[in-house]
Structure 1
């Protein structure tokens, strides 16, 4: 069995970039997250406390991003992954960060990372 909670295209705002013009104001990044979890208890009880609360996770990720001013997407991605593992017990996660408009002629550029072991829940 392999259950996942996901958040797709979460808008994060932060100052990020290596170039001076990127350090002037916050920009919007798009974040996709998949978290492995066992959803059977939540399905049986129909209670939020038996699963991962994706609204709470989204709010926490927005707050984290807003508090940082990293130069690299890699830095922000790693901090997000660490938070998800530490605060939400994510055994496995896949995270995609997209920086729309960073490179002319592209829809976006970014990074995808996986952390943890992808094993049945």
Structure 2
């Protein structure tokens, strides 16, 4: 496959949990509810594999803390807005070529039995939100 671009490597962080006050209903803002976020970061991990130095890769502990803060702060009406915010913070690191963000809202205000409400957004570096 001469001349082809290698697909990026992937770091995933699954199940970042936090209590957020996101939603369009007053009780969602007042009471808050659990949100669960999964992030998938596409990047080239070869520099870090060669150097064995954290400075040469994305620190997934820092990303997890940033995602948690996004869940718990600055409420928004829509999970689409929250997902975009999280994608933007993931792409702020120049090494991240793409990010997928999945938001789970298992306690969404739906009047029928259900397991989960899930939204996934996929963004590439250089796209504008």
Q: Give the number of the structure with larger relative contact order, counting CA–CA contacts within 8 Å between residues 6 or more apart.
A: 1
- Which residue pairs with 2:114 in the alignment? 106
Q: 5+ residue gaps in structure 1?
A: none
TM-score by length of 1: 0.87
Q: Counterpart of 1:32?
A: 38
The gaps in structure 2 that reach 5 residues or longer are 1-5
- Please report the RMSD computed on the Cα atoms of aligned residues, expressed in angstroms: 1.4
Q: Say how many residue pairs are matched.
A: 116
Q: Tell me the equivalent position of 1:49.
A: 55
After superposition, where does 1:82-97 map in structure 2 within 5 Å? 82-86=88-92, 88-89=93-94, 90-97=96-103
2:67 to 61, 64, 71: 61
- Kindly indicate whether the alpha-carbon contact (under 8 Å) linking 2:35 and 2:71 is maintained by their aligned counterparts in 1: no
Instruction: Report what 2:13 is aligned to.
Output: 7
Would you say 1:115 and 2:127 are equivalent positions?
no
